[in-house]
Structure 1
Amino acid sequence: MRKRYLYTLLFISWVMFITTLSLFSLSDLDLDTGTLNIPFADKITHFVFYTVFAFLGCMFVRERTQGHWTLRKTTKYILLAAIGYGILIEALQYTLTVDRMAEFGDVLANSLGAFVGIGLVRWLFSKGRPLKWKF
């Protein structure tokens, strides 16, 4: 029974995780991050977060519809949801927070990550692979 809701729980948890990290300041936690300086680490993080968002979103829809939504329909809606969610989070950062900045580069990294996540799902469920979209 628990396996039936695995991707639902993972997707909802991931969305809450992204929302929390995006809208709340972590500077008060006094984390000692050292002096490691990775160029474009912020954009890489956005890219990875939205790759996972798109992948888990597709698996969530597959799980909830038991594969009745086609792969094409699912990926189209999840791609639009991921891009829309990324834009919404950036808008909320701009309007609701004082220590977070909304950036067009973040929206671009989010969108590119979503495209990669969708591409991964399409590749995993392509005709040459043993995985089947429908249950």
Structure 2
Amino acid sequence: MGKKWIFGLGFLGWILLITVLSLVHFPEDPVKGLEIPHLDKLVHFTFYFVASILACFYLKEAFGKQLGFNKILLISLLFAWFYGILIEVLQSTITTNRSGDMYDVWANCLGALIGVLLLKLWFSGKRAYRWKH
């Protein structure tokens, strides 16, 4: 199995995980008494941080020669932003136990942005790591 398939399955699996955890109703908090302020925002940030990085690696393997590094970063960022917004809209419209939250949208977008910026920094050519086609 090539890198394209591994990154593709990883990316699609991660998006499926985000979708299920965002739209499916789960029983009340299983860890009663454990209150961590803004933990949900950290979860949103992490979901889209990882999603943007996985998207970049999948697109690199699938279309790297045609798109180039900066386009891959931009496409990954825009996908993560739009998907994060879509999930929040779906929470507000099709679920009865969830509600969309603008702060969740900001956490999603910030996670994706930091993920893409980290890859840009890591593979910028100023470091030992290069984005190879």
Report the TM-score, using the length of structure 1 for normalisation: 0.91
**Aligned residue in 2 for 1:89:** 87
> More displaced, 15-24 or 57-66?
57-66
Match of 2:106 among 95, 105, 108: 108
Q: Distance in 1 between matches of 2:29 and 2:110?
A: 29
**Aligned residue in 2 for 1:37:** 35
**Aligned residue in 2 for 1:17:** 17
> More displaced, 3-12 or 102-111?
3-12
Report the TM-score, using the length of structure 2 for normalisation: 0.92
Identity, in percent, stands at 39
Q: Distance in 2 between matches of 1:58 and 1:102?
A: 26
Match of 2:54 among 37, 53, 56: 56
**Aligned residue in 2 for 1:73:** 71
Structure 1 segments (4+ residues) deviating >3 Å: none
Flag structure 1 segments of 5+ consecutive residues without an equivalent: none
Q: CA deviation at 1:131?
A: 2.6
Q: Does 1:98 align with 2:91?
A: no
Q: Distance in 2 between matches of 1:68 and 1:125?
A: 18
Flag structure 2 segments of 5+ consecutive residues without an equivalent: none
Contact 1:67/1:134 (<8 A) preserved: no
Aligned residues: 133
